[in-house]
């Protein structure tokens, strides 16, 4: 069983559309994250959720909204998609609350905005 799974793996869409990326973890972790791979191929943290509460929002446009229906899921909604949103997005999870435990990553979602 995949520990951290995110869907879809690829997402191609038009500018202005609204899309969601789903993430689920079966590790029983308390905290989940969304990372974005930037244009230099580096990973940067976007959001961190602990027990369904947002604890980090790193200067992300408010078009991006994480939704956590329960602690095993953290979905990423993106409204009014822009060309610059094209990137690979990674979900991750870890145990622990305010201190980040060892991260377990999903396989990434490649978003292409046309």
Partner 1 sequence: AQSVSQHNHHVILSEAASLELGCNYSYGGTVNLFWYVQYPGQHLQLLLKYFSGDPLVKGIKGFEAEFIKSKFSFNLRKPSVQWSDTAEYFCAVNTGNQFYFGTGTSLTVIP
Residues that bind partner 1 (CB under 8 A): 33, 35, 37, 41-43, 45, 88, 90, 96, 98-100, 102-103, 105, 107-108, 110
Cβ 110 to partner 1 shortest distance, Å: 5
Q: Are 69 and 14 in contact (CB under 8 A)?
A: no
Structure tokens at 85: 């949103």
Q: Which is nearer to partner 1, 78 or 87 (CB)?
A: 87
d(CA 32, CA 48): 6
Cβ 102 to partner 1 shortest distance, Å: 5
Cβ 57 to partner 1 shortest distance, Å: 13
| Strand pairing category for 87-94 and 31-37 | antiparallel
Structure tokens at 99: 């201190």
């Amino acid at each position: 069983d995949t520990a951290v799974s995110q869907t879809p793996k690829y997402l191609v869409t038009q500018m202005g559309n609204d899309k969601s990326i789903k993430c689920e973890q079966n590790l029983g972790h308390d905290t989940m994250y969304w990372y974005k791979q930037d244009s230099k191929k580096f990973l940067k943290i976007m959001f961190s959720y602990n027990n369904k509460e947002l604890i980090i929002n790193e200067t992300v446009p408010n078009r991006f909204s994480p939704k956590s229906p329960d602690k095993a899921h953290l979905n990423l909604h993106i409204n009014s998609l822009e060309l610059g949103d094209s990137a690979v997005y990674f979900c991750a999870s870890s145990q622990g609350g305010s201190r980040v435990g060892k991260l377990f990553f999903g396989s990434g979602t490649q978003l292409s905005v046309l």
